[in-house]
Amino acid sequence: MKIRVTKIPSWGRGRAATIALAIILLIVPGALAQFQARAARDGQDSESYRFSVNVDLVVLPVTVRDRQGQHVPDLHEGDFKVYEDRVPQRIRLFQHEDLPVIAGLLVDHSGSMRPKIAEVIAGARAFVRSSNAEDRMFVVNFNETVSLGLPTATGFTANADELERAIWRAPAAGETALYDAIVTALERFEEHGRDKKVLVVISDGADNASAHSLEQVLGMAERSSVVIYAVGLFAPYDDDANPKVLNRLAQATGGEAFFPDQPRAVTEICERIARDIRNQYTIGYVSTNTKQEGVHRAVRVAVQSPGRGKLFVRTRAGYIPARPSTGKREDAK
């Protein structure tokens, strides 16, 4: 089988008559093999498959909880239904494995965060302890400026001591360029198109220093495969608090937002986020949608399993398919 990988933005368009796939939202280990096996069962020639920019396997991380808030670990493919713009989609990929992730820790270093940094570091350590041993992580620090926490030579790590030093590396002072920091993190993820990706944002204030807007950040997030979790450490009666922003980012990407009363709760929240990541289902489908590229597509996943009562599903609210790459620079005349 010949494979051609084209580096283009995540998500793309689906054509039901075409079998070629470009798995660019999220390529998870074993996904290609599982899809080929499914094709063989359907009577298709696996040798006819190749990567291209024509069709995408849309891959969704899906969290399922019961009424008690516990993960539901033993569901089957037939328990799930997937809809795009209210149209049922055929599931082509189904996995429930503890897959390694690339995780970004986005840490607010504005002046008001100074007394909370110790709790943030404790949370980062808890996140590492509760994560898959094969996960790789990076740190983005921000106040009115944005910087990578780890040395260039290190890049990514699963070492709690290195992550702690990366967070302490930046002083806590100044204003909050939250949107610029998220853009930097999303661009960092683009270097690793074959991995499951998670961004944990820890901040105590609204953006007041970014060059980018919220709508620009949301659009970029919807074109990516990154799931965003947010921890808002807002003080009571804080005029800068804006939980709606963190909620929108989390809901759009299939993550979750938390707003603890005390900074010491960050450790427990980070442990919960790590468990959530490790207990997700992975569901993929080839979109039958003919809506043009660049237009938002709404996604919904429903689950029902006899005898289990009401189950609660969380996944991406939708995505924006990327325009096919022409191989030419956009600024070419």
What pLDDT digit, counting tens, does each position of 70-109 carry?
999 999 999 999 999 999 999 999 999 999 999 999 999 9
Within a domain: 26: no
- Quote the pLDDT of residue 235: 80
- Quick one: DSSP state of residue 136? E
- Cα gap 8→51, rounded to integer Å: 12
**Is it the case that residue 47 has pLDDT exceeding 60?**
no
Give the DSSP per-residue string, 161-213.
Answer: HHHHHHHHTS---S---HHHHHHHHHHHHTT-TTSEEEEEEEESS---S-SS-
Q: At what angle do helices 266-278 and 117-130 cross, to 10 degrees?
A: 30
Give yes or no for residue 52 having a pLDDT over 70. no
Per-residue tokens: 127: 């996140």
Least confident of 51-65, 70-84, 131-145: 51-65
- Residue with more model confidence, 1 or 137: 137
Selection from 80, 89, 11, 33 nearest residue 308 by Cα = 80
Whether the per-residue pLDDT at 269 is higher than 60: the answer is yes
Confidence of residue 23 (pLDDT cuts 50, 70, 90): very low
pLDDT band at 16 (very low <50, low <70, confident <90, very high): very low
What does the alpha-carbon distance between residue 47 and residue 221 come to, in Å, rounded to a whole number? Answer: 34
Distance (Å, whole) CA 287 – CA 89: 7
Say yes or no to pLDDT of 4 above 80. Answer: no
Euclidean distance between CA atoms 154 and 45, whole angstroms:
43
Q: Find the CATH number of the domain harbouring 249.
A: 3.40.50.410
Q: Do 288 and 153 sit in the same domain of this protein?
A: no
pLDDT interval class at 194 (50, 70, 90): low
pTM of the model: 0.82
Mean pLDDT of the chain, nearest integer: 83
Residues 233 and 119 in one domain: yes
Which whole number is the average pLDDT over 153-169? Answer: 94
Strand partners, 148: 140
Domain boundary among 247, 278, 309: 278
Same domain, 164 and 62: no
Domain that holds residue 42: 31-95+281-319
Query: Which letter does DSSP use for residue 77 in this model?
Result: G
Token pair 């599931």 in the structure block, residue: 91
Pair 88, 200 in one domain: no
Rounded CA-CA distance 31/193 in Å is 14
* DSSP designation for 291: P
Same domain, 200 and 294: no
pLDDT above 80 (res 21): no
Q: Identify the weakest region by mean pLDDT among 20-24, 62-66, 205-209.
A: 20-24
pLDDT higher than threshold 60 for residue 30: no
- Look at residue 331 and tell me if it is in a domain: no
DSSP string, 218-285: HHHHHTS-EEEEEEE-PPTT-TT--HHHHHHHHHHHT--EE--SSGGGHHHHHHHHHHHHHT-EEEEE
Q: What is the pLDDT of residues 271-284, one digit of tens each?
A: 999 999 999 999 99
Q: What is the pLDDT of residue 218?
A: 95
Q: How much is the pLDDT for 20?
A: 34
pLDDT reported for residue 40: 53
Q: What does the buried/exposed string (b/e) look like for 203-242 if buried means 16 or more CB atoms within 10 Å of the residue's CB?
A: bbbbbebbebebeebbebbbbbbbbbbbbbbbeeeeebbb
Distance CA 272, CA 274 (A): 5
- Is 71 within the bounds of a domain? yes
pLDDT at 114 over 90: yes
Greatest mean pLDDT among 24-28, 139-143, 240-244 lies in 139-143
Tell me what pLDDT residue 3 has: 34
- The helix (run of H) or strand (run of E) holding residue 31 is helix 31-41
